[in-house]
Amino acid sequence: MFVMGTIILLLGLLGGILSLGFFIYSVIRKKPKKLGGIALAVSVIAIIIGAATASTPLQLSVNAVQLTTDAQGVATIEGEVSENAKITLDGKNIKNVKGTFSETVQLSDEKEHTYVLKASLNKVVKDEKIVVEPSKEFIAILQEEKKEKELLAKTETALALAESTPNQKNYDEAATLVHSLSKTYDDYDKRLKTIEENITIYEAVETAEKSLARKDLEEAVKQVALASLNKEELNNRVTSLQTKIEEKEEQEKLYAQAAKAVEAAEKSPSNSLCDTATTAIAKLPATDEGLTKRVAAVQQIVKDNEEKERKEKQEQEKKEQLAKAEQERQAAEQEQQAAIAQQEAEQAAANQAEEHVLVTATGSKYHTHKCGNGTYYDAPLSEALARGLTPCSKCY
């Protein structure tokens, strides 16, 4: 624009001189002055426009195109510019103070940044690029800040975890992080304190959940009433714990009943006690192998006993049969002997009825009484007759 203005100005001056010469020549020669006048007027206008344009060239200069920030990441871009020019830095307007400007910039990270400075005047635009690089101190501070930020994020996470699960381990981890921060944060100290107060409460619930003991549940209920963290969640847990413990107690009751029934069957094995035990075991929520095996053992004993009894009964029956046979045999024998005895008795009776005589061993007579010397024997008459003895004449 500046060059173009200069050309217009030069052309205007040249045209002016020529048209002025032509105009003077026309006046001297008394020729029509109209054409020369128009050319002169045009030239004057060109001179005015050219001078106006060329006389205000846009100027822009910066003090330094390469800057390093201070420890805070701040640098100042300074320079001079045409007094009426409008200037922007990275698209943002900055002040033009009577032909000078001074703008501080702040780097946001460890990277260097190239700023674009633009000046414009009468549609003429000029720009400059300024590279601002972070100082070592600023980089160090940024890294320190980054570390602290990371530590803060970690602390926040640890605190959130400890708040959702306030046990000793989570508390210790959060507390260690809070104390490792370079500053003291009241909010964090307060949160830690709340977590610490809730550890006992939380642990009471966990203990009860592990033991499923009524005593622990009662303690947990007492503690949860004091909770300041996750109270609703803890209440829900305690409620479901109550149900679980009741179920467990019911199961224990069923188990005790089954065990008792099995013991009774073991004490006096019988089919009916085995059946009772089997029914009790069937009521258990899960198959109990121990009790089932014990009942099976009792059932085997019952079966063995029955078999033994059956054999004993058989043997007894056999014995009884033998005894009966013997009795019958003895009865028959007795009967026979009785018959014989009777016969003998009859014989004896018959014998007794017969007449008896006295005989000697050698005599040929039989007697009614001892007559004479010798040894006399009693003998039936029939026998004496059979020996051929004859009656004694003295006795008969």
Contact set with Zn ion (CB under 5 A): 367, 371, 392, 394-395
- Kindly state the smallest distance separating residue 358's Cβ from Zn ion, in Å: 9
- Kindly state the smallest distance separating residue 328's Cβ from Zn ion, in Å: 57
- Kindly state the smallest distance separating residue 384's Cβ from Zn ion, in Å: 13
- Kindly state the smallest distance separating residue 382's Cβ from Zn ion, in Å: 19
Most distant CA pair in the chain, distance: 259
- Kindly state the smallest distance separating residue 366's Cβ from Zn ion, in Å: 8
- Kindly state the smallest distance separating residue 371's Cβ from Zn ion, in Å: 4
Strands of the chain, DSSP E: 60-62, 66-68, 74-81, 86-89, 92-94, 100-106, 113-121, 124-133, 356-359, 365-366, 377-380, 390-391
Q: CA dist 370 to 32, 136, 377, 378, 391, Å?
A: 246, 180, 9, 11, 13
- Kindly state the smallest distance separating residue 356's Cβ from Zn ion, in Å: 15
**Looking at beta carbons only, is 124 or 395 nearer to Zn ion?**
395
**Looking at beta carbons only, is 184 or 393 nearer to Zn ion?**
393
The answer to whether the beta carbons of residues 371 and 392 sit under 8 Å apart is yes
**Looking at beta carbons only, is 237 or 367 nearer to Zn ion?**
367
User: In 3D, which of 241, 192, 249, 193 has the Cα closest to residue 218?
Assistant: 241
Q: Tokens 């320079």 belong to which residue?
A: 79
d(CA 94, CA 102): 8
User: In 3D, which of 89, 73, 72, 70 has the Cα closest to residue 81?
Assistant: 89
**Looking at beta carbons only, is 281 or 359 nearer to Zn ion?**
359
**Looking at beta carbons only, is 248 or 394 nearer to Zn ion?**
394
Q: Tokens 């014990």 belong to which residue?
A: 294
User: In 3D, which of 342, 343, 344, 372 has the Cα closest to residue 358?
Assistant: 372
Cβ-closest position to Zn ion: 392
Q: Tokens 């008969």 belong to which residue?
A: 396
**Looking at beta carbons only, is 68 or 368 nearer to Zn ion?**
368
**Looking at beta carbons only, is 167 or 360 nearer to Zn ion?**
360
Q: In degrees rounded to 5, what are phi and psi of residue 92?
A: -105, 135
